[in-house]
Structure 1
Amino acid sequence: MTSATTRPPRPNAGTKGVARPEREAQIIEAGCRLFGEHGYLATSVADVADAAGISKPLIYNYFGSKDGLHVACVKHASAVLVSEIERTAALGAVGFARAVVTLDGMFRLLEPRPWLWRVVFDATAPREGEAQTWLAEHERRIMDFGREGVAELMHLAGNDDPLDIDAMRAAWESIFRALVNWWLDHPGESPEEMTHRCLRLFRTVFGELDLSGTALT
């Protein structure tokens, strides 16, 4: 009979009384922050262990390697971003209203955890492997939402040309990323201030916007 002192740990057991799923979430949160703030290349397993207040062997036990931990962080961060885009898409705004609502939602999401964006768009991360496969799938989902929103905007303007829509989608994707990156590089700017800045920029280029159905002005 196995004694209490020699009984093997349960598969879902954590450390120091913390359940394994909770401990994994803690490690992923610390990993996302460090990978996001310093990049994949400049972040070590030891750094993440120190930030999470655990040992390096525990990370290897849970995730197998630095790459395994990075994949878990990429999955978490990309899923959070996609979930937010899905949420704002479901609000029913169309045209420029949808564009501004989407940006506003992303700013508010990222304000307490800006590193999530950096994890997904980390130029130092490996270009191949499971993390990139996961990102490609999430990017496809984001592009589908972007294409849908752009198609609505172009239709309202009387343009249903497929190539025009695809070209505008590519332009919108670049603008969206550029505005989020600019905001992250200016941490003193609140989400509300950045949303109104986007409104001013869009109005400067496109004139008065129809924002009916939203709380934005």
Structure 2
Amino acid sequence: MSRAGTKGVSRADRERQIIDVAVEQFGTHGYTRVSVAAVARRAGISKPLIYSYFDSKDGLYLACVHHVGRLLVDSVAAAQIRSGSTDHALDTLSAIFGTVDRCRHAWSVLYDPALPSSGDPHDAAHHYRRQLSAIGAAGTARLLGAAGHDDPLDHDLLNHVWQHAVTAVMRWWYDHPEQSAAEMTDRCARLIGALGAR
């Protein structure tokens, strides 16, 4: 974990360093259990410096949400090469694993259940969640469409199954942090293959 420091560091680099520390703290402890003072201590900087960059705890969390939200949306969107094929689900999971392997707490920051039910951080988190959900829904619709299934309730059910399955997989991974992104991809490939076996 890098410490932010203040000497010889550009504003952009310092902001990124603070966000990296804050993502770790928020992702580990949740929004409600993290203070600006705790982030400052962990980063080795002063509380006033964080306030000068982000104005408030909400401002800091908002910056974290934008950082992890863009990472996840961009990686999942880039994984649509084989969209509509049976490999699409694994491509999507692999993209998520790769992103979370590089930014270990990305998923837990974006999907923090303790996030307040209103305000800018809430709105931003839901904005990225909706984008990820929309990408998933489009993928399941193309998969069913390619198989000749056009029942809207089938589409709705498969989308729900997919969204909850991804959440379950990510929760399992957080309980097994020793698993690498590559190991998670291999594990999911085995499970998807077994589910598809006749």
The TM-score, its normalising length taken from structure 2, stands at 0.91
Shift of 1:56: 0.3
Residues matched between the structures, number = 194
Shift of 1:43: 1.0
Shift of 1:93: 4.2
Are 2:141 and 1:151 equivalent residues in the alignment?
yes
- Of structures 1 and 2, the larger Rg is shown by 1
Alpha-carbon separation, structure 2, partners of 1:93 and 1:148: 9
Are 2:187 and 1:197 equivalent residues in the alignment?
yes
Counterpart mapping for 1:121-140 below 5 A: 121-140=111-130
Counterpart mapping for 1:32-181 below 5 A: 32-89=23-80, 91-181=81-171
- 8 Å Cα contact 2:40-2:47 kept in structure 1: yes
- 8 Å Cα contact 2:83-2:143 kept in structure 1: no
- 8 Å Cα contact 1:104-1:191 kept in structure 2: yes
Higher helix share: 2
Alpha-carbon separation, structure 2, partners of 1:193 and 1:17: 39
SS at match of 2:25: helix
- 8 Å Cα contact 1:114-1:184 kept in structure 2: no
Alpha-carbon separation, structure 2, partners of 1:96 and 1:178: 20
Shift of 1:55: 0.4
- 8 Å Cα contact 2:65-2:125 kept in structure 1: yes
Shift of 1:15: 4.2
Unaligned runs of 5+ in 2: none
* 1:51-74 per-position Cα deviation (integer Å, ceiling 9, x unaligned): 222100011111111111111111
The TM-score, its normalising length taken from structure 1, stands at 0.83
Alpha-carbon separation, structure 1, partners of 2:130 and 2:30: 23
Q: Which runs of 4+ in 1 moved over 3 A?
A: none
Letter in 2 for 1:20: R
Alpha-carbon separation, structure 2, partners of 1:68 and 1:104: 31
SS at match of 1:96: coil
Alpha-carbon separation, structure 2, partners of 1:30 and 1:153: 39
Alpha-carbon separation, structure 1, partners of 2:119 and 2:55: 15
Letter in 2 for 1:148: A
Alpha-carbon separation, structure 1, partners of 2:83 and 2:158: 18
Deviates more, 1:32-41 or 1:139-148: 139-148
* 1:90-119 per-position Cα deviation (integer Å, ceiling 9, x unaligned): x23433201001111211221242211111
What is the identity percentage for the equivalent residue pairs of Structure 1 and Structure 2?
A: 41
Query: What is the RMSD computed on CA atoms of the aligned residues?
Result: 1.7
Shift of 1:27: 0.8
Letter in 2 for 1:155: G
Counterpart mapping for 1:23-34 below 5 A: 23-34=14-25
